[in-house]
Amino acid sequence: GRLADPTQRTNCGHESGDYLCISVDSWWADVNYYLSAMPFLAAVDSGIMGISSDNITFLPPSKDQTNFCYNVSSCYSSFPETMKKWNKFYQQVKSYSSSFEDLLKYLWAAHMSSLKVAHKKFGNRLKFYSKQEADFERSWALFVDYLAPPLFPTTLIRTAEFQKGLPTRMLVDGDKAPLVSDFTSFQNTVLLGLNFLHKVHKYTGKLSFIVWKTLMKFKVARKLFLEILDLILHCFN
């Protein structure tokens, strides 16, 4: 799977070894650590879970321990701005006056802050992958950047449907969308679309993203985009 050791130095996550193992060298695992552990610790700190922060400490991996934070205090010490944004989101969750759109604004601000931290720390992991997989990882991260301005509502059902478009294995040399034989039509379409987005973003010198952010300031544009995206998800699911 995508959480397997990309260096091939161990059998962590591979069918020949412990398939459920999560490799510390996996770009996907490392990035998602900051998109899950940090929000969880911030939730604990906010008081929304009714758990004392003194009782929560994650176990470190076997190596690269300094690349991660493990409890509320260490995360605040290393990434104060990101933790503050997550805490602010949870304070809004606790507030009865917050609208759903307001919550999404705080959620995406915190999410993108976590993602920025992860990109900075783990960009060197991409060298362990094939060109196709590394390009896909960059394109996927870029797509998330584009999902933030329209305030994509990351509900459990919608996110689960969208995740079906994520290829179930790492890409290898020779994989070329939309002709990857062991991928579904949805996965091939997603891969093709992400490749196209990455090329547009690259060749316009980020102008496309600037235009996109400006367009998504209008509520009607955000609504139209989300309706189109929901229609696409419905067609494939």
Query: What CA–CA distance (Å, rounded) separates 209 from 207?
Result: 5
What is the CB neighbour count within 10 angstroms for residue 223? Answer: 11
The pLDDT assigned to 233 comes to 84
* Dihedral over Cα of 132, 3, 143, 159: its sign: positive
Residue 190, both tokens: 């997603």
Query: What CA–CA distance (Å, rounded) separates 132 from 130?
Result: 5
The pLDDT assigned to 157 comes to 87
Query: What CA–CA distance (Å, rounded) separates 69 from 137?
Result: 23
The pLDDT assigned to 65 comes to 94
Query: What CA–CA distance (Å, rounded) separates 57 from 76?
Result: 13
Tens place of pLDDT per residue across the chain (237 aa): 889 999 989 999 988 888 899 999 999 999 999 999 999 999 999 999 999 998 999 999 989 999 999 999 999 999 999 999 999 999 999 988 889 999 999 999 999 999 999 999 999 999 999 999 999 999 999 999 999 999 999 888 888 888 899 988 899 999 999 999 999 999 999 999 999 999 999 999 889 999 999 999 999 999 999 999 989 888 887
The pLDDT assigned to 33 comes to 95
DSSP category for residue 124: G
| 3-state SS assignment for residue 25 | coil
